[in-house]
């Protein structure tokens, strides 16, 4: 049996998206750990930087165009396989919201929205639960696809968002005990 023409890029895309999604979950866990600890300039700035990093990673993972090797590239190559246990319309909806933010204010300063960039975020209406659901869904899907393609689990595939939350909260507690941060 010959392998499909897209197989090498499919594998490369998996190898790129898995660490991207892993880092996205790490950023989410860090944001959750810091949400009540934004005292001082450094932590407030860190929180803001993590928010931007989370949005950039979401946009990279879910950009839906023929010119990108993203989650949607994998879906175009193998729609039935990628869609197993995935609410594709829900992910498409989130992708559209991310595209709006990307194009109107986050990566571009749209001239029609320059005076009220927050209105774009309001119009997009991206909620935290939706983001968390999407990252966990994609993480599971990418790990399943990786194991199918490579015959072994991804090296960090055992990690979950809950694991990362636990690690970040433990580290923050250690910093609090040492007086590095306060609640």
Put residue 126 in one of left, alpha, beta given phi > 0 → left and psi -120 to 50 → alpha: beta
Average pLDDT over residues 46-63: 93
Contact partners, residue 68, CB within 8 Å, separation at least 6: none
Say what the pLDDT of residue 182 is: 67
At residue 135, the 3 state secondary structure works out as: helix
C-alpha distances in Å from residue 147, one per residue of 38, 54, 137: 39, 26, 16
Kindly report the average pLDDT of the chain as a whole number.
90
Say what the pLDDT of residue 163 is: 95
Residue 166 has pLDDT above 70, yes or no: yes
Question: Which runs of consecutive H residues, i.e. helices, occur in the chain?
Answer: 7-34, 41-62, 71-77, 79-82, 88-101, 117-124, 128-150, 161-177
DSSP letter string, 37-75: ---SHHHHHHHHHHHHHHHHHHHHHH--STT--SHHHHH
Say what the pLDDT of residue 53 is: 95
Residue 69 has pLDDT above 80, yes or no: yes
How long, in residues, is the chain? 183
Residue 43 CA to residue 31 CA, distance in Å, equals 10
Task: Calculate the dihedral angle through the C-alpha atoms of 131, 132, 136, 141, rounding to the nearest 10 degrees.
Answer: -10
Average pLDDT over residues 3-18: 90
Residue 152 CA to residue 144 CA, distance in Å, equals 10
Task: Calculate the dihedral angle through the C-alpha atoms of 152, 153, 154, 157, rounding to the nearest 10 degrees.
Answer: 180
- pLDDT tens column, 25-39: 999 998 888 877 656
* Percent of the chain with pLDDT strictly greater than 90: 66
Q: pLDDT band at residue 54, thresholds of 50, 70 and 90?
A: very high
Higher confidence at residue 137 or residue 119? 137
């Amino acid at each position: 049996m010959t392998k499909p023409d897209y197989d090498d890029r499919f594998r490369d895309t998996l190898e790129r998206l898995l660490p991207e999604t892993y880092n996205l979950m790490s950023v989410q866990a860090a944001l959750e750990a810091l949400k009540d600890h934004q005292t001082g300039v450094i932590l407030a700035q860190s929180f803001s930087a993590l928010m931007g990093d989370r949005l950039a990673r979401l946009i990279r993972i879910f950009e839906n165009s023929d010119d990108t090797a993203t989650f949607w590239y994998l879906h175009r190559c193998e729609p039935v396989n990628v869609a197993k246990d995935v609410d594709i319309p829900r992910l498409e909806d989130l992708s559209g919201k991310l595209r709006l933010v990307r194009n109107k204010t986050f990566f571009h300063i749209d001239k029609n929205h320059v005076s009220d960039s927050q209105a774009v975020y309001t119009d997009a209406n991206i909620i935290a639960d939706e983001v968390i659901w999407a990252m966990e869904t994609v993480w599971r899907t990418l790990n399943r696809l990786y194991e199918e393609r490579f015959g072994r689990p991804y090296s960090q595939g055992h990690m979950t968002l809950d694991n990362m939350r636990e690690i970040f909260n433990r580290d923050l507690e250690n910093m609090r005990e040492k007086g590095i941060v306060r609640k």
